[in-house]
């Protein structure tokens, strides 16, 4: 019943257009700018960004998400006449335990994978801890990342998943469409410039994972926890000079980026780690009827 929550609001096409246009604008703008710029221009942009102190750069990058998430909530409530709970879950109230379980699981998995990797070969990993800078980074991360991941999840797995679902009248199309768009909207990330569009496999695969979580659990609470945990670890645990997040993390990868190795690691995550995560969630929350929940038809709530 998650997608069907959209029927509780006013879904006039112009309302959907206005909400999508104003809240997805930052992603569309970044993608258009990326495809219009030459390689040299992109390198100059990344170089200019690198000249800004890490913590200030993080604040500048994340601040717009705060306003856009507020705008999305405002438009859904006032334009579509829906409450935020219907954008979050099909249950009567938000289950924060789901969010924190997902967050804790992803943090734990990231730490375990890092420890294993570090124990196998730490020749390219440097201790990068600076008490003052890390403390500031920690505070910034806790304050700003919830808005960034909140916008992406409420927009892609919440609003767009629901609105496209009631138009397509099925579940598989919004799952694939939002996952592909989610991946393409990350095309301006530095990893793409360094590794090529093969990295889109990882972004789209992550979108599919988050979409499956959403449809199987009938809410975005698990997706919110996963996304926040993943981004917090990317900012706080280890950084490098060729990732989207350059921070004063605990560790820094000092080696030269190898596109093939990095792409292989991403594929391993999609094929091995992601199924494990889904298995854990499925067992804990007793997911059933996978085929119907992921590919079934959508019927208006009034017809059920």
Q: What are 231-247's pLDDT values in tens digits? A: 999 999 988 876 767 78
- pLDDT score recorded for residue 255: 65
125-137, pLDDT tens digit by residue? 899 999 999 999 9
d(CA 301, CA 304): 5
pLDDT at 196: 66
Are 231 and 145 in contact by the 8 Å Cβ rule? The answer is yes
Question: Directed axis angle between helix 131-152 and helix 54-78, to 10°?
Answer: 30
- According to the model, what pLDDT value does residue 304 have? 41
Instruction: Average the pLDDT over 199-220 and give the result.
Output: 93
pTM for this predicted structure:
0.91
* Residue showing tokens 């003052």: 132
Task: Give me the pLDDT at residue 195, please.
Answer: 66
pLDDT band at residue 303 using 50, 70 and 90 as cut-offs: very low
% of the chain exceeding 90 in pLDDT? 64
The larger pLDDT score, comparing residue 82 to residue 269, is at 82
254 with 124: CB under 8 angstroms?
yes
Q: Collect contacts of 77-84 with beta carbons under 8 A, ≥24 apart.
A: 79/10, 79/15, 79/18, 79/19, 80/9, 80/10, 80/11, 80/15, 80/19, 81/9, 81/10, 82/5, 82/6, 82/8, 82/9
Please report the pLDDT score of residue 201 as a whole number. 86
242 phi/psi in degrees, rounded to 5 = -125, 25
Q: Which residues contact 188 (CB under 8 A, 6 or more apart)?
A: 30, 31, 33, 34
- Measured in residues, the chain has a length of 304
């Amino acid at each position: 019943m998650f997608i069907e929550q959209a029927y509780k609001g006013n879904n006039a096409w112009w309302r959907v257009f206005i909400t999508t246009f104003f809240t997805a604008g930052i992603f569309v703008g970044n993608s258009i700018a990326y495809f219009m710029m030459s390689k040299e221009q992109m390198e100059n942009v990344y170089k200019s960004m690198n000249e800004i102190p890490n913590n200030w750069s993080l604040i500048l990058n994340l601040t717009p998400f705060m306003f856009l998430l507020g705008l999305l909530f405002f438009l859904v409530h006032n334009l579509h006449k829906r409450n935020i709970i219907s954008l979050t879950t099909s249950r009567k109230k938000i289950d924060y335990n789901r969010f924190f379980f997902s967050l804790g699981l992803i943090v734990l998995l990231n730490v375990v994978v890092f420890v294993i990797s570090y124990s196998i070969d730490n020749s390219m990993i440097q201790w990068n801890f600076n008490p003052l800078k890390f403390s500031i980074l920690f505070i910034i991360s806790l304050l700003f990342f919830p808005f960034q991941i909140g916008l992406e999840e409420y927009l892609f797995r919440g609003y767009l998943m629901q609105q496209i679902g009631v138009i397509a009248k099925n579940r598989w199309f919004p799952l694939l469409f939002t996952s592909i768009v989610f991946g393409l909207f990350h095309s301006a990330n530095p990893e793409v410039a360094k590794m090529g569009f093969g990295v889109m496999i990882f972004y789209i695969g992550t979108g599919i994972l988050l979409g499956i979580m959403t449809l199987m659990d009938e809410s975005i609470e698990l997706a919110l926890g996963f996304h926040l945990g993943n981004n917090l670890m990317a900012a706080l645990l280890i950084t490098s000079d060729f990732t989207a997040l350059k921070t004063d993390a605990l560790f820094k990868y000092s080696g030269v980026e190898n596109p093939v190795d990095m792409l292989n690691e991403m594929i391993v995550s999609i094929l091995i780690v992601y199924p494990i995560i889904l298995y854990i969630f499925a067992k804990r929350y007793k997911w059933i009827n996978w085929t119907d929940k992921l590919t079934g038809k959508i019927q208006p709530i009034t017809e059920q």
